[in-house]
Amino acid sequence: MELRTHENGGICCSTVNSRGEHDMPQHPCDKCKQHFASRGLRTLKTQERPMDYTPPNPYAEPLKLLRGAAAPPASSFAARYAAERTREFAVEHAAALRTPSRPALRVLAAEELKQYMPPDPYAAALARLRSEGR
């Protein structure tokens, strides 16, 4: 902690950081409170400063580097995944179009439309029941 003096020669309790800038003190005196208030700054209370009690992790940085080196580039993975899924969807769509129970779609002219009789899914079953005499 480096002590500095006020303009009046009194010792101030604020600190100077490594860049030479004056920091707000953790436990300000009345003169520091007035000084920071006149500049439009407010002093922090001790409870407002978060205390980090977690121990340092010497493995965090090397693990981060290893994971970054081992992971595939996100753009190539996304492109490969999108291409695979597009191929799968195309195969499913083509298989759905080849379903034999589904008639092929076509555009009819007005005269053909008047003569068109839609298929009756119950016709075969009804004919079988009628032939059995029920």
Taking CA atoms, 79 is separated from 56, 82, 83, 86, in Å, by 38, 5, 6, 11
> Which of 7-21, 28-42, 77-91, 105-119 has the highest average model confidence (pLDDT)?
77-91
Q: Quick check: 1 pLDDT over 90?
A: no
- Looking at residue 11, its pLDDT comes to 63
Above pLDDT 70, what percent of the chain? 63
Asked if residue 107 is part of any domain, the answer here is no
Cβ atoms of 56 and 40 within 8 Å: the answer is no
- Looking at residue 85, its pLDDT comes to 94
The pTM (predicted TM-score) of the whole model is: 0.24
In which residue are the tokens 């595939």 written?
Answer: 72
- Whole-angstrom Cα distance, residue 103 to residue 83? 30
Asked if residue 86 is part of any domain, the answer here is yes
Asked if residue 115 is part of any domain, the answer here is no
Domain that holds residue 37: 4-48
Q: Quick check: 119 pLDDT over 80?
A: yes
pLDDT in tens, 64-104: 999 888 877 767 788 888 899 999 999 988 887 776 666 66
- Looking at residue 26, its pLDDT comes to 65
Q: Which residue has the higher pLDDT, 19 or 109?
A: 109
Give the SS3 label for residue 12. Answer: strand
Judgement on whether residues 16 and 43 belong to the same structural domain of the protein: yes
- Looking at residue 90, its pLDDT comes to 92
Token couple for 131: 């032939």
Judgement on whether residues 10 and 35 belong to the same structural domain of the protein: yes
Taking CA atoms, 57 is separated from 52, 54, 64, 68, 128, in Å, by 13, 9, 12, 18, 80
Judgement on whether residues 42 and 67 belong to the same structural domain of the protein: no
Asked if residue 128 is part of any domain, the answer here is no
Mean pLDDT of 49-71: 84
Taking CA atoms, 81 is separated from 70, 76, 86, 89, 94, in Å, by 18, 8, 9, 12, 20
Q: How many domains does the chain have?
A: 2
